[in-house]
Structure 1
């Protein structure tokens, strides 16, 4: 059997469209598991600290979380971290086909809630970023600003497509929005993956000015590029392209699970144990 015949037979056994769809579901499942762990961490740390009035506890974990006398900044920070729980909880529900198809009213109202909270938190984060002296390098400021602005842009484009009943476009913009909204979660995954590949070393510098800090903070951008390639493969007829994108999505799912495990060891489990 020639090599070309063997490749043709393999492709005949694997439907590229189904493989691509399956790989997307695998990645989404891995992401949902990781985001569930992140959501529990938010509840265990920020909500418990808030209910106890122990805001000093947050300063031990977040750079310039609470600043004495800065009432507007402190209010923006607290609303940002508390709303993060709800956006992390509601986001994945928008992309589960069984929910979207069987409970359309819930899908619409949850989508409105998700979009509203996303716009509020991203706007508040941008205001807070420029309201207070910036910590870290200028490159880090650019990365964080780009993430916040893309949340607003993708959210508005997803809403416009939905109102115009262009549901395929709506889904694509909503997926892009999901990636950039998850920027803080991807930031944690970046730390977890770096911890994994360096056998326990922490990346960067204490003031977040090193190249490793920028790379970790840009994890969401890597995920966005991966999504764009996945969506491109969906639109093309090439079976080879679809299979390539499927393999990349499976590899990305594995990276998400590994990174979530190490991020849990570094950030989330110590919080639940404290």
Structure 2
């Protein structure tokens, strides 16, 4: 009679913490998508895109059709990309609806690349808040989306599922970097106030640190979690990763509370 085996407790905790992180992210994405639809799509239809400046002062510039189209694509296509991207990570959908998973993946890749290219254009041509280093980190996130998209598609066509999943996760994380930044910066404001941030110019060491946490660290954390999931005998590494995921979940919820009450909701009802 074969001995009864169970999943080690640290692995159970790691899997639970990953699911909790994903649920927190889905909640944040739902609020973000609602903000984009009501703030940009509805406003654009009812009052014209010139009113987008109440949400972002670089959203609309008169006589700059190319820039305005780029901004519209960057914002409005994100609604479809965010919803479609999260559907790709649900195991049941991947297993039961493989055709949908494949074509939805192609749509996600195309939209993610288009949004990233539009974002790169807007940073170069119109600029944005922060200093040059912050701009470079944001552009790095956009380039990471494009590179990850290429390798995710390439590995999928080669039927290399393992490599495809790794690059798909990297793509998903990079594509959500802008949302990560918003959640983390508002979590910082709630806990530490404006410590390390020049609110007039939106610069300072904290801004750079959170940019790293949004565009670079997620990839490194994903690699650490993937390593921990394979090395089930290393209890300390597994427990550390689980605690890290729980911490990130708490940061997301804190930041979501702040950004909804201080930014998204007031912008919608204004």
Q: 1:43 maps to which residue?
A: 37
Query: Does the 8 Å contact 2:55/2:267 carry over to 1?
Result: no
Structure 1 Cα separation of the partners of residues 181 and 24 of structure 2: 16
State whether structure 2 residue 244 is matched by structure 1 residue 248: yes
Shift of 1:236: 2.4
Q: CA deviation at 1:203?
A: 4.2
**Residues 120-157 of structure 1: CA distance to partner in whole angstroms, max 9, x if unpaired?**
11112112222335653111121111011001011111
Would the aligned equivalents of 1:87 and 1:114 in 2 still touch at CA under 8 Å?
yes
From the superposition, tell whether residues 136 and 253 of structure 1 become closer, same or farther in structure 2 (CA, over 3 Å): closer
Distance verdict in 2 for CA 1:97–1:191, change over 3 Å: same
Kindly report which structure 2 residues correspond to 1:18-29, keeping only aligned pairs within 5 A, or say none: 18-29=12-23
Higher mean displacement: 58-67 or 171-180: 58-67
1:263 is the counterpart of 2:252: no
What does residue 103 of structure 2 align with?
A: 109
TM-score (norm 2): 0.89
Query: Partner residue of 1:83?
Result: 77
- Equivalent position of 1:192 in the other structure: 186
Cα distance per residue 1:38-68 (max 9 Å; x no partner): 1111111011111124334321222422112
Correspondence for 1:139:
133
Query: 1:65-76 maps to which residues of 2 (within 5 A)?
Result: 65-76=59-70
CA–CA separation in structure 2 for the residues paired with 1:14 and 1:235:
12
The residue number in structure 2 matching 1:149 is 143
Instruction: Tell me, in whole angstroms, the C-alpha distance in 1 between the residues paired with 2:151 and 2:190.
Output: 36
- For residues 99-248 of structure 1, the aligned pairs below 5 Å read 99-133=93-127, 135-198=129-192, 203-220=197-214, 221-237=216-232, 238-248=234-244
- Gaps spanning 5+ residues in structure 2: where? 1-5
- Tell whether the 8 Å contact from 1:204 to 1:211 is kept in structure 2 after alignment: no
Contact 1:151 1:177 in 2 (8 A): yes
Does structure 1 conserve the Cα–Cα contact (< 8 Å) formed by 2:197 and 2:205? no
- Matched residue count: 263
Which sections of structure 1, spanning at least 5 residues, go unmatched? 1-11
Moved more, 206-215 or 77-86: 206-215
Change (3 A) 1:266 1:200: farther
Q: Distance in 2 between matches of 1:209 and 1:19?
A: 38
Tell me, yes or no, if the aligned pair for 2:10 and 2:239 is still in contact at 8 Å: yes
Root mean square deviation, CA, Å:
2.2
